[in-house]
Amino acid sequence: MEENSDGGDGGNDVELLCKILQEGHKFFYFDLKENPRRRYLKISEKTSTTRSTIIIPFNGISSFLDLFNYYVNSDDHNVFSKELQHDIKVFYFDVGKNRRERFHKVSEASISRTR
């Protein structure tokens, strides 16, 4: 996951649901939140030195999970990177590999409404 400059967390945000998953030395936080403008899912990955966050609009969660499940359930080592555009965001799903493991990387970017 990549850093998010979108902010999502304002002073009026209410936490509706929070789940924490630990995998090795990493913690993953899944926070369903709501503010006066919208409801959204905030996913954060935290290690001892870094924290990365993506924010998914509520009405995009289903599409996001469909694509995420595609990667999780795929045994094919020839899985390609994909993009998911939703409203003013693009989520990038990439596959990587290092000496220890094969991994999936999810990042986001904002796009202009005029695009």
More confident residue, 71 or 112: 71
**Domain assignment present for 9:** no
**Domain assignment present for 99:** yes
The span from the CA of 70 to the CA of 72, in Å, is 6
Residue located via tokens 């990955």: 45
Q: How far is CA 106 from the centre of its chain?
A: 6
| Residue 106 structural domain | 14-110
**Domain assignment present for 2:** no
Q: Record the pTM.
A: 0.75
**Domain assignment present for 115:** no
Q: What is the pLDDT of residues 62-102, one digit of tens each?
A: 999 988 888 888 776 677 788 888 888 899 988 888 888 87
pLDDT, mean over the chain: 84
**Domain assignment present for 5:** no
**Domain assignment present for 27:** yes
pLDDT at 8: 54
Least confident of 14-18, 34-38, 88-92: 88-92
